[in-house]
Structures are given as structure tokens and as C-alpha cells.
Chain A
């Protein structure tokens, strides 16, 4: 069953240098109980998609297309209607735990706030529920954590608290935006285990956003590769890592440590003045003349959707 469907999403930002084409004609589906990883380089539009779903883009953003949650278009909803969905039905685990937590409120206050607002729980009951959740997430000393302030916690602990806050209302869709960024390998593993646990506990679906392919491989069922605001390849995660189809996907996998850190030559294109045709063509080792003029159509090959002239 499709829980969340993105249809022809386009997001542009007005800037002093021109119009930034952050997301261009993106479509995908998130099925119930499934984890979909959105991977790509910084600036490829991953977080913009997440923020579009939550409708928290800055005022200079223009959004077109449809974001259907249980067949209701989130982009057509009023702020009041959205406030019933944000946090309760769809929650976002923010990228930077140091900035996402309020430094002047205790962890207990921040964890119980959604329960007090959405569920009208009494503070004392909400505290017990928050402690219980931390316990289920294998948090050592939940009683102490509840009374602590963000500055008393490490980056990894803060990230785990953010996960707790995001799932305390049992949302149906969890959007995890780079939840393992900057963490060491031990904490990375811990956070991934926690995400798997909350997903199983709440039978939720997850949109996992990452520039790091390792956690995406570990946690996702489906994967979509973004480049300069477009999905170039999508399909089953297992198949993708076994045999990437798009030249950019191949380059990404070649740059992994186990392949010897072989870089993709060049840099991502300007999002204000992107190149004509396929946006990857200036860096592509397989480019043909047509790539400089026309963006290839999406084709389905080996069960995967790919946009490349090699398969047209």
C-alpha cells in the first residue's frame, strides 16, 4: 500500500544570483513498512524534498507538483490541517542535533512537548511515557537523561534523543535527514540500530536521506540516486549495490573506501545555470553527443528506473 507519493515535484528558490532549481520533476512512492533511501551529493536536493514534505521551506521557495499522504495532497492543506499531520503522522529527524535541540530547555521538556500539545497528556504522564520510550531504545539511565540539558550530552546522545522526540507520537512516516552525519562508526551503528528498532516498534515507513552510501545500504529496501535535483536511478537497494546502472551510480560506488576512494572527476553543476541535456554529462566517462542536448527519458531495466542514454 502506498503511504506517501511524490508526483512531479519541482522546487525553486529565488536568490540574488538567480533562480536555484533545487528539485526538478521528482516522483517516487513510499510503501507502508518500507524504507526508501535518497542518496546523492550535498546540494542534490535531498533535504529540500524532506522539507517540502513537511512544508517547512523558506518563503523564497516555490513548490509545484503533488505530495500525497494517504491520497491527500499536503501542498493543498492549510497550516492548521498540516499541524495535525506534522509530528503525529509524518515526523522529521533533523540533520544537526546540536542545532535541532533547544539549548535552554531540558531533554524532558523537549521530549514531552509533542505529547502535551498533540495528545493533551499531563506533564507527569508524558514524562513517564518519554522515559519508557528511552528505555525501549536501550538508553542507559533514562531518568538522568530526562533531567539533562543538551549541552550535557554528546553528539551521538543528542541524535538519539532527536530520534526519540520524532517517534514519540508513533508517526506513520519517519523522515531521517542525514541522521548519522559526523558520527563515529560506533555511534553510527548505534543510531542505525535505533532507527531500525523504532521502525519495527511503530510499523512505520522511513525516508532515509544520506550522502553516505554505507548506512543507506544497511537500512533501506529501496534506493533512489539524486543528482542536481533529479533522480537518475532507483530500485531495489540490493540490486543497486550489486550492479549500478547509471554512470553516476557507478562513480559513487567506485568512490567508496573498499574500492580505493576513486573520485568522480569534476564537480556538481550550478543549480542556477545547469548544463543542457543530461546534467551529469560534463563528468560522464560514457557521454555521447546527444547527452549534451537532451535529458534521456526514464526507462525500466532489470527492475530499476534509470535515466541514461546507454539504456535508451
Chain B
């Protein structure tokens, strides 16, 4: 039996709206689910149902109003040193390929920035960059370019390269292919699957695209009115019927 990599217990999120008369708006209500190592859990739902908010809570970009998150069986502590380690193990990939990279930095600079963070010595950097570009299917000529000089699919590959340099165990994929062309979407989805097999990665895949969810996910949860209302741990066919 596979080990549980991520467990979400009773996560709720409420926002306050209004300038003078404060109103509370409940986005997520009592969300719970588990994801096993090496598996993909799909979160589906229409636009505005709180899918991205849930992803951000898992990635610790937003705080939940209540509830707990367990990573590899341990509750996530928010102390600074533990938090940093945890953040590197859990990464998030966003929808907008161009918006995910700094437009004023070349691709090389964007990758070196990560190498600085993980303290890779200078003499090893060229080899590390060559290796990661090969992994995500990019050529070295891309290094001198800026994000607006490469395609959406190439931008998403660079984002993925930055994420992989941090050696994550869990990646939250928030509609990473929704802005891409059909053929490029197919390339990125196949790459994500291949990387999952090679590196035993765990994914939480957020999407409103039922075809993508069917192709990528082992289990799914559907958010309706803030609640995770249906779950499937059966076969892919079962998933497609539920979506």
C-alpha cells in the first residue's frame, strides 16, 4: 500500500468583504482528502469555486481560516526554518505561463536565481542547467531569451524546470495547460506524466477541463458550493463518469 503524502483535514476559508459593512463570504467549507505518494489528485469545479484558493492554501501561499494540513504524516508547522524546508518540497505551477516568470530577467537569470537559493556552486551550474533543460525538453539557445520572446509552452517548461531544481515531492498544478494550444497542451501533459513516473512525484491537479482530469488523475474531488462534494478512488472510467 502506498504512503499518504498529503492529507487535508477540515480546511475552511472565509473572506471578509465590504468596506464599511463587513460581510463574511465562505469560499471553502470543511474540505478533507488524502493523496498517496506518486499519485495525482484532481480538483475540479467551475470558475470561481475556490479551486485556486485551495491550491494556494496547500502551498502555504494563503492561510486557511480553520483546518490542518499533514505532509508525509506530519502537521505543517509554520516556524520559519520548517516552513522553508516544506515550501521547497511543495511547489505550485500557475495558469499564466508568461506571468509566472519575471519579464525583465532572461531565462538563464530565472534559472540561476533558483540555483543561488539552493546554493549550487558556480562550477556545477552549467551542468545542472544543461541537465534540467534536457529533462523538460528545451534547448540551450533559450537561455538568452526573455519570457516574451518564447512561446507559452516553452514558458511553462521553464517554470517546470525552476520547480524541478528544488527537488519537490508534491506539485500543485493550477490549470497549467489552460492557456496553451491543443498540441502544446498534449506535450506538457505527457511531460508531466513522464516526470511523475521517473521521480515518483505527487500531483494535485486543479482544472475545469474534464478531458485533462481524466487523462492525468487517479482520484478526483469536485468542489460545489465550497464543499468537496464527490470523490472517486475507483478507475479512470469512474472518474470520467463523475466529472
Contacts and interface: CB of A to CB of B under 8 A. Distances in A.
Interface of A: 17, 41-43, 154-156, 181-187, 211-213, 251-252, 255-258, 260-264, 267-268
Nearest to B184: A41
A154 B190 contact: no
B151 A255 contact: no
A184 B178 CA distance: 9
B182 A43 contact: no
Contacts, number: 66
Contacts of A181: 179
A292 B152 CA distance: 27
Interface stretch (B29-37, B104-112, B123-131, B203-211): B203-211
Q: Determine chain A's interface SS by DSSP, over half rule.
A: loop
Given A185-B210, A267-B153, A255 B182 contact: yes
B183 A255 contact: yes
A259 to B, nearest CB: 9
Interface of B: 46-48, 95, 149, 151-154, 178-187, 189-190, 208-212, 214-215
Contacts of B184: 41-42, 263
Contacts of A252: 182-183
Nearest to A259: B186
B208 A263 contact: no
Contacts of A261: 185-186, 189-190, 215
B182 A211 contact: yes
Contacts of B47: 154-156, 183-184, 187
A263 B151 contact: no
B53 to A, nearest CB: 15
A17 B181 CA distance: 25
B149 A17 contact: yes
A222 to B, nearest CB: 19
Contact of A267 (B48, B95, B154, B208): B154
